[in-house]
């Protein structure tokens, strides 16, 4: 279950992360494991542009979402030089919905073609979810799943004394790219606010939400990823709407994981990212339609004991998904560990065709 659960020998290495996405993707896929790899005795460098001079001193070169022409040549040179070359990908960038601001960036440029060339060139591709494996394997047969993990240093390890808010806060947090997902809650949010005078709905990260204005509909301004837990601390119940589709089916369960680490009971859409993490009725609820959303939010609002126990179970789930407990996944993927046993569940082990 954890990186320390098997006997293994790990050799110190010099690891270079070449990061093209400076936002949450790079934070969870490079920055977070990079810091833990340093704590494990490895030398880690993170840059935004490929630098051949740095390659010479490295054992492993990881390219995160490479989509610029210099990355292709850099990957080839690193591969010829005998370096372990890795492409990391955590989204189905071929299926971005036109309503997503990122669609134009990827669909209307040559970035996807460059990314595909990088995938074919690399020795290994690491992905965040099982559905990404069949998407990538025709381009590179060496694909390893490394799920998104939480950095323990940015999340409270002790929730003792945590009290619910007055009024009780039902919350959603995300970026401006989730307008289509939030539309799932249209009508439900208004019904909840009308039925429960002691409830407020708080949204963080998006100002233009698809709900009618209400005195108890509160907007929270975005914060840096290091302070993100402080935003979620303002919620008592979490909402995780997600439209079913090819792009979203490849996404990870990170949103549930973040709420869970804060001990927040939540309702999530019954779609691929959450069906395998949310144990319905135990550590969360899964909603298939507006009727389900209203039913399960009502149950959480009206039952303090249910909120408390479900939040506790969710937190137990999240505590097993911290990067320090699973860093062996990166070490084994990069060929730094002599252990032959995978650190995590079977779906985290290497997938080859």
| Tens digit of each residue's pLDDT (9 = 90 or more) over 228-252 | 888 899 999 999 999 999 999 999 9
> Which segment of 60-74, 161-175, 285-299 scores lowest on mean pLDDT?
161-175
* CA atoms within 13 Å, Cβ hemisphere of 265: 27
Q: What is the CATH classification number for the domain harbouring 220?
A: 3.40.50.2000
Residue 2 counted as domain residue: no
Residue 227 has phi, psi (to 5 degrees) of -105, 10
Residue 338's pLDDT band, with cuts at 50, 70 and 90, is: low
E-only strand ranges, the chain: 14-19, 43-47, 60-64, 84-89, 124-127, 142-145, 168-173, 199-204, 217-220, 237-240, 266-269, 285-287, 350-352
| Residue labelled with tokens 């098997």 | 6
Whether 118 and 222 map to the same domain: the answer is: no
Whether 136 and 163 map to the same domain: the answer is: no
Question: What is the secondary structure of 51-119 as a DSSP string?
Answer: -HHHHTT-SEEEEES--SHHHHHHHHHHHHTT-EEEEEE-S-TTS--TTSTHHHHHHTSSHHHHHHHHH
* pLDDT value at 3 more than 90: no
Residue 6 counted as domain residue: no
Task: Note down the domain range covering 173.
Answer: 153-319
> Which segment of 66-75, 153-162, 205-214 scores lowest on mean pLDDT?
153-162
With a CB cutoff of 8 Å and minimum separation 6, the contacts of 130 are 145, 347, 351
H/E element, 192: helix 188-195
pLDDT on residue 351: 39
Tokens representing 322 are: 């911290």
What's the pLDDT tens digit per position in 82-118? 999 999 999 999 998 887 778 888 887 899 999 999 9
Q: Which of 72, 74, 84, 49 is nearest to 119 (CA)?
A: 72
Alpha-carbon gap, residue 232 to 5, rounded angstroms: 31
Whether 200 and 296 map to the same domain: the answer is: yes
Predicted model pTM: 0.89
* pLDDT value at 337 more than 90: no
Q: Which of 220, 230, 236 is nearest to 314 (CA)?
A: 236
Number of domains in the chain: 2
Whether 56 and 33 map to the same domain: the answer is: yes
Residue 207 counted as domain residue: yes
Alpha-carbon gap, residue 343 to 326, rounded angstroms: 7
pLDDT on residue 151: 92
- Give the residue-averaged pLDDT of 266-284: 97
Whether 219 and 125 map to the same domain: the answer is: no
Alpha-carbon gap, residue 161 to 85, rounded angstroms: 46
Residue 166 counted as domain residue: yes
Whether 82 and 196 map to the same domain: the answer is: no
- Give the residue-averaged pLDDT of 302-324: 97
* pLDDT value at 144 more than 90: yes
- The mean pLDDT value of the chain amounts to 89
Max avg pLDDT among 2-6, 225-229, 283-287: 283-287
What percent of the chain stands above pLDDT 70? 92
- Give the residue-averaged pLDDT of 7-12: 72
Whether 185 and 286 map to the same domain: the answer is: yes
Whether 247 and 347 map to the same domain: the answer is: no
Whether 190 and 300 map to the same domain: the answer is: yes
Whether 99 and 160 map to the same domain: the answer is: no
* pLDDT value at 340 more than 60: no
Yes or no: say if 63 and 46 are a contact pair by the CB < 8 Å rule.
no
Q: How many other β-carbons are positioned within 10 Å of the β-carbon of residue 11?
A: 12
Yes or no: say if 26 and 49 are a contact pair by the CB < 8 Å rule.
no
Q: How many other β-carbons are positioned within 10 Å of the β-carbon of residue 242?
A: 21
> Which segment of 10-14, 92-96, 335-339 scores lowest on mean pLDDT?
335-339
Is 20 in a helix, a strand, or coil?
A: coil
The better pLDDT of the pair 123, 103 is held by 123
pLDDT on residue 5: 41
Residue 200 counted as domain residue: yes
Whether 200 and 91 map to the same domain: the answer is: no
> CA-CA distances (angstroms) from residue 149 to 15, 17, 194, 229, 292?
19, 17, 37, 14, 29
Tokens representing 294 are: 């209203």
Yes or no: say if 10 and 336 are a contact pair by the CB < 8 Å rule.
yes
Residue 6's pLDDT band, with cuts at 50, 70 and 90, is: very low
Whether 126 and 28 map to the same domain: the answer is: yes
Residue 86 counted as domain residue: yes
Alpha-carbon gap, residue 184 to 289, rounded angstroms: 8
Residue 1 counted as domain residue: no
Yes or no: say if 120 and 139 are a contact pair by the CB < 8 Å rule.
yes
Residue 125 counted as domain residue: yes
């Amino acid at each position: 279950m954890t990186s320390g659960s098997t006997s293994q020998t790990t050799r110190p290495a010099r690891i270079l992360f070449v990061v093209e996405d400076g936002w949450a993707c790079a934070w969870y896929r490079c920055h977070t494991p990079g810091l833990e790899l340093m704590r494990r005795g490895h030398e880690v460098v993170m840059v935004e542009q490929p630098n051949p001079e740095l390659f010479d001193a490295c054992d492993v070169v990881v390219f995160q979402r490479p989509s610029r022409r210099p990355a292709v040549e850099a990957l080839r040179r690193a591969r010829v030089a005998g370096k372990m070359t890795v492409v990391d990908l955590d989204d189905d960038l071929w299926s971005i919905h036109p309503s997503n601001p990122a669609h134009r960036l990827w669909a209307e440029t040559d970035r996807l073609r460059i990314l595909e060339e990088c995938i074919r060139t690399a020795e290994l591709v690491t992905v965040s979810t099982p559905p990404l494996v069949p998407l990538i394997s025709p381009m590179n047969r060496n694909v390893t799943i490394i799920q998104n993990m939480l950095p323990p240093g940015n999340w409270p390890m002790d929730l003792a004394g945590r009290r619910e808010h007055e009024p009780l806060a039902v919350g959603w947090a995300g970026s401006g790219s989730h307008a289509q997902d939030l539309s799932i809650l249209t009508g439900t949010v208004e019904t909840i606010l009308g039925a429960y005078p002691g409830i407020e709905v708080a949204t963080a990260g998006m100002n233009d939400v698809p709900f009618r204005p209400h005195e108890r509909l509160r907007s929270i301004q975005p914060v840096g990823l290091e302070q993100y837990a402080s935003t979620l601390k303002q919620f008592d119940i979490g909402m995780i709407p997600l439209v079913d589709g090819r792009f979203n089916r490849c996404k990870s369960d990170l949103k549930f994981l973040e709420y869970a680490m804060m001990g927040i009971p939540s309702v999530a859409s019954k779609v691929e990212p959450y069906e395998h993490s949310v144990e319905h009725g135990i550590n969360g609820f899964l909603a298939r339609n507006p009727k389900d959303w209203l039913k399960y939010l009502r149950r959480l609002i009206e039952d303090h004991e249910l909120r408390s126990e479900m939040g506790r179970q969710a937190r137990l789930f999240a505590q097993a998904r911290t990067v320090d407990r699973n860093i062996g996944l990166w070490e084994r993927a990069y060929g730094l560990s002599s252990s032959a046993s995978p650190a995590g569940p079977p779906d985290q082990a290497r997938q080859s065709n």
